[in-house]
């Protein structure tokens, strides 16, 4: 099903269950049940608008390396999923509007020539539209439940000089009220640390590699009183980070175990009704 932004917002306000491609495919959303938890994969996408491809100084493989392929697959069967389908090189959903359109990234110049004001404005509009949808969704869920949990799923490259023995899972909490949410954070780390993957030694850490400084956590901290964002980075042990090819044995097991961990974690403090 294809929906405009306004049609998607109305469906959420009406608390309809639906699965849709929204804003010309810029995002995908599925709501099977208005549960108290959401899974997001905002860097899963690889699309780049045709007019930007010609201006891009980076090969497709170079862009893919810094994107998060397969993160939408890891938690695909949860009651509510929101996936970004456009490349972070078009606009980065985990950066604020002021910096979400790259000029340089990871030491590389992104564009052969500067984007026009119209091209930049189109990207900024997509960024804004995504957070308009996300904001409406979180507002609805907070009106229905005493607390909401967002499993914000990312992945990261680890075959870099000096990386060392980094954890398979990293939870970033710098923007979280740890005085309130620490028990939930600790339980999530516990569950992730107990995941088993073929041929992989699994360890989970908090604020060891990444610190949860992304814009989704910023947005939620500013706009949502009772929503916890668990910014969770998965080491790319489930794929070849250079070629982008998945290791199906590891990816399939990760999918199974990660969803099981979410289901268990979501029970740590059952949702309460606001009477809505």
pLDDT tens digits, 164-178: 899 999 999 999 999
Mean pLDDT of the chain: 95
Quote the pLDDT of residue 162: 80
pLDDT at 92: 98
Handedness of CA 87, 93, 94, 99 (dihedral sign): positive
pLDDT of residue 161: 82
Decide if pLDDT at 246 tops 80.
Answer: yes
Given pLDDT bands bounded at 50, 70 and 90, which one contains residue 273?
very low
Mean pLDDT calculated for residue range 193-200: 98
Q: What is the pLDDT of residues 58-80, one digit of tens each?
A: 999 999 999 999 999 999 999 99
Contact of 85 with 28, CB cutoff 8 Å: yes
pLDDT-based confidence at 268, cuts 50/70/90?
confident
Strand boundaries in 27-147, DSSP class E: 27-31, 37-41, 80-84, 104-105, 108-109
Instruction: Give the pLDDT score at 276.
Output: 38
262 SS3 class: helix
Instruction: Decide if 3 contacts 128 (C-beta within 8 A).
Output: no
| pLDDT band with cut points at 50, 70 and 90 for residue 269 | low
pLDDT for position 185: 96
pLDDT tens column, 121-150: 999 999 999 999 999 999 999 999 999 999
**Residue 150 bridge partners (DSSP):** 38, 229
CATH class of the structural domain 2-265: alpha beta
Q: How far is C-alpha 103 from the chain's CA centre?
A: 22
Q: What is the pLDDT of residues 15-25, one digit of tens each?
A: 999 999 999 99
What's the pTM?
A: 0.96
Q: pLDDT-derived band of residue 194, with 50, 70 and 90 as boundaries?
A: very high
Burial of 118 (C-beta count, 10 Å sphere; 0-12/13-18/19+): exposed
Q: Give percent of the chain above pLDDT 90.
A: 94
């Amino acid at each position: 099903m294809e929906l405009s932004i306004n049609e998607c917002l109305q469906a959420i306000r009406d608390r309809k269950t639906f699965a849709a491609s929204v804003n010309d495919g810029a995002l995908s959303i599925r709501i099977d049940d208005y549960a108290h938890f959401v899974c997001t994969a905002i860097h899963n996408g690889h699309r780049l608008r045709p007019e930007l491809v010609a201006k891009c100084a980076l090969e497709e493989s170079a862009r893919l390396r810094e994107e998060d392929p397969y993160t939408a697959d890891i938690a695909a069967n949860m009651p509510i999923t929101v996936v970004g389908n456009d490349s972070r090189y078009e606009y980065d959903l985990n950066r604020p509007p002021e910096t979400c359109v790259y000029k340089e990234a990871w030491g590389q110049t992104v564009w052969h020539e500067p984007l026009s004001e119209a091209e930049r404005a189109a990207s900024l509009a997509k960024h804004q539209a995504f957070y308009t949808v996300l904001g409406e969704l979180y507002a609805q869920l907070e009106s229905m439940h005493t607390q909401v949990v967002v499993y914000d799923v990312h992945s990261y490259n680890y075959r870099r000089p000096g990386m060392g023995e980094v954890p398979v899972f990293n939870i970033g909490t710098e923007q979280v009220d740890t005085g309130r949410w620490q028990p939930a954070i600790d339980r999530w780390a516990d569950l992730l640390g107990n995941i088993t993957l073929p041929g992989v030694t699994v360890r989970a850490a908090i604020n060891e590699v990444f610190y949860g400084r992304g814009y989704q956590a910023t947005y939620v901290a500013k706009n949502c009183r009772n929503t916890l964002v668990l910014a969770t980075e998965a080491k790319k042990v489930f794929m070849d980070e250079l070629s982008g090819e998945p290791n199906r044995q590891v990816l399939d097991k990760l999918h199974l175990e990660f969803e099981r961990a979410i289901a268990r974690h979501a029970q740590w403090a059952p949702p309460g009704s606001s009477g809505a």
